[in-house]
């Protein structure tokens, strides 16, 4: 294991401190000033503590910096803690802790590091150090990149183990017995005479005690939770309407706000007339905000309705207005001066393409809204000396800083409460809503303002997935793929997204070639080049980011060459695969689907393999052609994840990611006319509905050493596996998403 392993282990050092009525493990390092990590170096680690556990008279609370967007992050983190702490999973409460630089996300650095130095060993560890240090400076407390499990797998178990041993030491000392003779179970320390002391009763004793460090973690054979089916801790609430989301939050004295933003995202307001809106029932004020107009009222619907009644003259979009211009900008980006990276360059591509039959193709992927079902919302109250925020967000630190900046406060005067989210898919990596809510709240100081976007405002200002274009040049010889040269052009998602946070993104953007450059195929002449197109419409991370477009480009390109070679899509991938873990994934999905060449009879299968976020994932899609169109009958998925923490949540999450990948590849695009997003609600942006959902068989492989997350990796292979299946069933080669522009689905 690289130095990253060392860093992660050192990150376990926890301290304890007395808090109101109890003790908090880890609070020491959280409270410690966020020292200059570049001087300190990652190896020191003590500012790198992540989630921690609070024990007080009420029991055990997991303080977690990784937010729950619906992926079960609270549940899985609680399970990891419970594993070593010996408490019942159901007994753990979860509290999304305060924003803090100490909560920087270790695992987030790994993928970027691999790209910076695409080789194992010391060089890569060095790169991780640099990237990680940068994240630490930024205090990148972020939920994303499928990192909650890899980031927490060791840290949370270690936090649980340290807390358990400290509690044992406290109970033993109190009872005057050797610590070696006490045990723990179900939130209690068991003394030699069988007497039990609840953890909550020991809270006062352990406060201020030296925390027991370096506790060996349990052998997997002793695990009670990890790897076994569990009941998600939020499943009852989410099945009874009792789960509160951000949009359900109620703060005393709160008023409701609605917003109208320039439909050309980021464009200005030239002038507006609020006279009609101001006269409407329940309306308290009409307030100009950056790029739009807000209405404050006593009810969400009244605010929505009054916002619609404001007459607004909008300025121009700050980016090209038509899709033709966007595609032209991408086409023009395939030029040397725009080259961003070429991390894959095997053999002699130019020589191989110098003569003979060269196969060429162009692929396109559209902008796509995230469109989580809970519209964007936030509550902000600004007082003279501070502010308080309640919102569902993946970036609480940026929220804190941005509210402080808009309100003219120091960041430490801004309290952020992270609330449960009704989906995100990357949408809540943006925080425009809190800036706008703060602008409104400044006009009614002391009053909490709840800003809720209408669906239309949300979808038209989504910061969608990047638009992207891929170009293939390749050759085959003697029934084999010999040369694959894939060029990809897109705007930089990281540049657009982090630019809005005032954060520079130095160096190449790994997302421009993510999911393509690292394909584990030993094609003799093999090259992947990324080109950075200028920023067009503002874009943001959409579930699986660059790989969501590139996994399609790469696999579709490979399929064209395999077909030209007269080979079988599965067999040729297996023949070319030079990575043992990837091979096992492909073999698994071939076995699960009983892959045995063409199906015939109007049916077809396709296969795709993509490695993203450290996960090797392969999918086989099967379609059939009927009178009402193409139907996706079955999907098989195999993914190498190191360790499946909860098989139930794992399966659900993978199935959902496949449906996400398929639904958008089939049915969705966000397009612009006059700089305005043309899709403003679900009638025009459906995703997938139940009648299109196939049967999905899932297998998690545990052959690798690295424990990974799975929120994103099953998305990229879905579209190309579907395209391959459609080709097998119909002979029609699809090179552009959404596929519904070219074929009919049931």
Partner 1 sequence: MKLTVNGVEHEADVEPEMPLLWVLRDELQIRGPKYGCGIAQCGACTVQMDGIAVRSCQIAAGDAEGAEVVTIEGLGTPESLHAVQAAWIEHQVAQCGYCQSGQIMQAAYLLDMMPEPTDEDIDKVMGGNLCRCGTYPRIRAAIKAASAAMKGA
Residues that bind partner 1 in the complex, under the rule CB under 8 A: 69-72, 231-232, 234-245, 247-248, 250, 256, 281, 299-302, 304, 371-375, 421-425, 452, 454-455, 648-649, 652-653, 655-660, 663, 681-683, 686-691, 693, 695-696
Rank residues 12 and 425 by Cβ distance to partner 1 and give the closer one: 425
Nearest to 689 by CA among 659, 716, 655, 711: 659
Question: CB of residue 231 vs partner 1: minimum separation in angstroms?
Answer: 7
In the complex, what is the shortest distance from the CB of residue 391 to partner 1, in angstroms, rounded to a whole number?
15
Rounded CA-CA distance 31/47 in Å is: 9
The tokens describing 155, both together, are: 């840290």
Q: Which is nearer to partner 1, 466 or 655 (CB)?
A: 655
The verdict on whether omega for the bond into residue 290 sits within 30 degrees of 0, i.e. cis, is no
Q: What is the residue whose two structure tokens read 């605010």?
A: 303
CB of 281 to partner 1, least distance (A): 7
Nearer to partner 1, 161 or 698 (CB): 698
User: In the complex, what is the shortest distance from the CB of residue 87 to partner 1, in angstroms, rounded to a whole number?
Assistant: 21
Q: Which is nearer to partner 1, 170 or 668 (CB)?
A: 668
Q: In what order do the strands lie in the sheet with 52-56?
A: 16-19, 22-25, 52-56, 59-64, 93-96
Cα angle: 59, vertex 61, 63; to 5 degrees: 165
**What backbone torsions phi and psi does residue 134 show, to the nearest 5 degrees?**
-65, -40
Q: Which is nearer to partner 1, 16 or 393 (CB)?
A: 393
User: Do 364 and 739 contact (CB within 8 A), yes or no?
Assistant: no
Asked whether 562 and 568 are in contact (CB, 8 A), the reply is yes
| HSE of 694, CA atoms in CB hemisphere, 13 A | 27
* CB nearer partner 1, residue 178 or residue 253: 253
Q: Of 8 and 447, which CB lies nearer to partner 1 in the complex structure?
A: 447
Residue number, 408 or 683, with CB nearest to partner 1 = 683
Residues whose CB is less than 8 angstroms from the CB of residue 571 and which lie 6 or more positions away in sequence, other chains included = none
Q: How far is the CB of 422 from partner 1 (least distance, A)?
A: 3
Residues 6+ apart with CB under 8 A from 670: 366, 367, 368, 369, 462, 464, 465, 677, 678, 679, 685
Q: Which is nearer to partner 1, 470 or 717 (CB)?
A: 717
Contact 677, 326 (CB under 8 A): no
Closest CA to 618 of 545, 691, 546, 700: 700
Smallest separation, CB 464 to partner 1 (Å): 15
Q: How far is the CB of 377 from partner 1 (least distance, A)?
A: 10
**Residue 485 φ then ψ, to 5°:** -120, 105
* Full DSSP string of 512-570: GTTTTTT--B--SEEEEEEEEEPP-S-----TTTHHHHHHHHHHHHHHHHHHHHT--HH
* Residue 170: φ, ψ to 5°: -65, -45
Q: 80, 157 in Cβ contact below 8 A?
A: yes
Contact 11, 42 (CB under 8 A): no
CB of 61 to partner 1, least distance (A): 20
The nearer residue to partner 1, 281 or 311, going by C-beta atoms, is: 281
Query: Least Å distance between CB 289 and partner 1?
Result: 21
Q: Nearer Cβ to partner 1, position 383 or 686?
A: 686
Q: For Cα atoms 494, 495, 497, give the angle at the middle one, nearest 5 degrees.
A: 65
Apex CA 154: angle with CA 94 and CA 110, to 5°?
105
Task: Name the residue nearer to partner 1 (CB basis): 200 or 681.
Answer: 681
**Shortest distance (Å) from residue 656 CB to partner 1:** 4
Q: How far is the CB of 235 from partner 1 (least distance, A)?
A: 5
CB 636, min distance to partner 1, A: 13
Return all residues near 662 (Cβ < 8 A) that are at least 6 apart: 621, 632, 635, 688, 692, 694, 718, 719, 722
């Amino acid at each position: 294991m690289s130095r990253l392993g060392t860093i992660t282990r050192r990150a376990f050092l926890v301290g304890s401190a007395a808090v109101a009525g109890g003790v908090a493990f880890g609070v020491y390092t959280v409270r410690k000033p966020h020292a200059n990590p570049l001087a300190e170096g990652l190896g020191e680690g003590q500012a790198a503590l992540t989630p921690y556990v609070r024990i007080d008279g009420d029991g055990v609370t997991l303080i977690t910096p990784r937010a729950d967007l619906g992926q079960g992050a609270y549940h899985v983190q609680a399970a990891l803690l419970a594993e070593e702490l010996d408490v019942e999973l159901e007994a753990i409460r979860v509290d999304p802790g305060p924003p803090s630089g100490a909560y920087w996300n270790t695992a987030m650095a790994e993928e970027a590091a691999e790209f910076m130095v695409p080789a194992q060993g010391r060089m890569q560890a060095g790169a991780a150090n640099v990237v990680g240090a940068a994240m630490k400076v930024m205090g990148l407390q972020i939920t994303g990149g499928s990192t909650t499990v890899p980031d927490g797998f060791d840290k949370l178990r270690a936090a649980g183990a340290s807390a358990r041993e400290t509690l044992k030491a406290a109970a033993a000392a109190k009872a005057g017995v050797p610590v070696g003779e006490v045990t723990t179970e179900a939130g209690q320390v068991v003394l030699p005479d069988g007497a039990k002391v609840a953890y909550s009763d020991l809270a006062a004793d352990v406060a201020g005690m030296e925390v027991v460090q370096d506790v060996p973690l349990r052998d997997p054979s002793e695990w009670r939770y990890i790897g076994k089916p569990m009941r998600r801790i939020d499943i009852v609430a989410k099945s009874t309407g009792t789960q509160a989301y951000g949009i359900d939050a109620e703060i005393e004295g709160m008023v409701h706000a609605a917003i109208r933003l320039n439909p050309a995202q980021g464009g200005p307001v030239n002038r507006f007339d609020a006279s009609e809106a101001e006269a409407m029932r329940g309306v308290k004020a009409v307030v100009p905000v950056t790029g739009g107009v807000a209405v404050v009222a006593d009810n969400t619907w009244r605010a929505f309705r009054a916002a619609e009644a404001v007459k607004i003259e909008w300025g121009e979009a700050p980016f090209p207005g038509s899709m033709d211009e966007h595609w032209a900008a991408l086409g023009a980006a395939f030029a040397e001066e725009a080259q961003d990276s070429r991390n894959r360059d095997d053999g002699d591509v130019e020589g191989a393409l110098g003569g003979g039959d060269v196969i060429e193709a162009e692929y396109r992927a559209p902008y796509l809204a995230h469109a989580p079902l809970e519209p964007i919302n936030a509550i902000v109250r600004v007082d003279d000396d501070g502010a308080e925020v309640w919102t569902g967000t993946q970036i609480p630190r940026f929220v804190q800083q941005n509210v402080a900046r808009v309100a003219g406060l120091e960041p430490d005067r801004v309290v952020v409460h992270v609330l449960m989210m009704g989906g995100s898919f990357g949408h809540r990596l943006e925080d425009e809503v809190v800036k706008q809510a703060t602008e409104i709240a400044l006009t009614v100081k002391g009053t909490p303002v709840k800003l809720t976007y209408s669906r239309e405002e949300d979808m038209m200002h989504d910061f969608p997935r990047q638009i992207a274009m891929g170009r293939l040049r390749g050759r085959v010889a003697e029934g084999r793929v010999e040369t694959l040269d894939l060029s990809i052009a897109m705007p930089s998602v990281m540049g657009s997204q982090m630019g809005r946070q005032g954060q520079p993104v130095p160096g190449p953007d790994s997302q421009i070639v993510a999911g393509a450059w690292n394909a584990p195929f030993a094609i003799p002449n093999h090259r992947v080049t990324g080109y950075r197109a200028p920023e067009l419409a503002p874009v943001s991370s959409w579930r699986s980011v660059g790989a969501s477009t590139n996994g399609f480009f790469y696999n579709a390109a490979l399929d064209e060459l395999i077909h030209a070679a007269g080979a079988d899509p599965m067999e040729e991938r297996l023949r070319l695969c030079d990575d043992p873990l990837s091979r096992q994934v492909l073999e698994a999905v071939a076995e699960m689907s009983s892959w045995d060449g063409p199906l015939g009879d109007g049916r077809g299968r396709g296969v795709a393999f993509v490695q993203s976020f450290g996960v090797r994932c392969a999918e086989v899609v099967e379609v059939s052609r009927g009178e009402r169109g193409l139907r996706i009958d079955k999907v098989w998925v195999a993914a190498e994840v190191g360790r499946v923490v909860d098989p139930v949540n794992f399966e659900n999450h993978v199935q959902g990611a496949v449906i996400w990948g398929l639904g958008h590849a089939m049915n969705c695009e966000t397009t612009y006319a006059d700089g305005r997003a043309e899709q403003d609600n679900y009638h025009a942006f459906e995703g997938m509905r139940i009648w299109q959902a196939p049967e999905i068989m899932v297998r998690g492989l545990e052959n690798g050493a690295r424990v990974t997350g799975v929120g994103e990796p099953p998305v990229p292979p879905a579209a190309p596996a579907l395209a391959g299946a459609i080709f097998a069933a119909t002979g029609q080669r699809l090179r552009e998403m959404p596929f519904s522009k070219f074929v009919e689905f049931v």
